[in-house]
Structure 1
Amino acid sequence: MGGTIIASDFDIQGRILSPLPTRDSVLPILPAFFTAARRKQTLSQLAASYILPFTAADRLENFDRTKSAALMARLHHSDYNLQGFFAPLSEVIDVNKVNGLRVTLAEGEIVHVRTSVNAPEMRCYVEARTEQAAMELLQQTAGLIRQWAESSYPDAGFRFED
């Protein structure tokens, strides 16, 4: 399962490869093969030439769907709510609301939270400069979600507006 949705043209030496508006697991690797061949490198050499972020993912299992929907609604409601929730981590400088909520923090880290469509759980994905930073960010984000879900008043300790 999985894949990448390609929504833009690829220009490969003046020839246009049109978008494929489906989730495809093969098409996204083709540019990597092409670039490696053009540079006369192996894929591992090509990958080593990029400074890529470290990623980490986890899920909060048995997470009540009504609570996850309420949290996502709160975070989508306003920038004030969004900034208030993520304030213990950092300032939010960019937001993408496609497939949950993906925020970029002031230091460049990325946090993506979303409800699962097929299980009662909240999913969390992060990107950071180091493996340790990614793991810490993942734990901190999961902690914020748990804190919100377990509080007797769901907004306790968070800067939210109605």
Structure 2
Amino acid sequence: MNCLLLSNNGIALNLPPSLGGSVANYNYMLKLDMIYKQAVVLPSNINNKEVVMLGEVWTTRNMSNKTSANTLHITWNNFNSSVKLHALSKYYTANAKIKVEKKFNFGNIDNLQIMLSSWQSGSANASAGWNLNDGDRLNPRAKLTLYWN
């Protein structure tokens, strides 16, 4: 896991069409290189801020399930808060990059820690919940950039 605060001098960002397609100005930019289930500590000035998140998420392994499905999320506050990076799916292809374009409000982040997580839907043979066996098999990764004021 790498984390780098790149600027606090003002950034003009061309938002993708999914986020309005205009130019937005931000004071801060943070690059994250995330590994599944490893906590990342954020700077305190991101607490309770609206954030633009751009980047990609992927899995290092394939998955093809008949019943249980998984989603990929950034989670915080002991899984009580999250932002979905990839929709519920029974199929994942190793190293296939999934584009992430999100705008959301972090709210209050306990301990300023976030984590790349997987939620498993469950089935007769698989439990439902966060960071279970299917997530371990998928072994997700993410390269994300956060922008905020």
State TM-score, norm by structure 2.
Answer: 0.29
More helix by share: 1
State TM-score, norm by structure 1.
Answer: 0.27
Which gives a bigger RCO, structure 1 or 2 (Cα 8 Å, sep 6+)? Answer: 2
More strand by share: 2
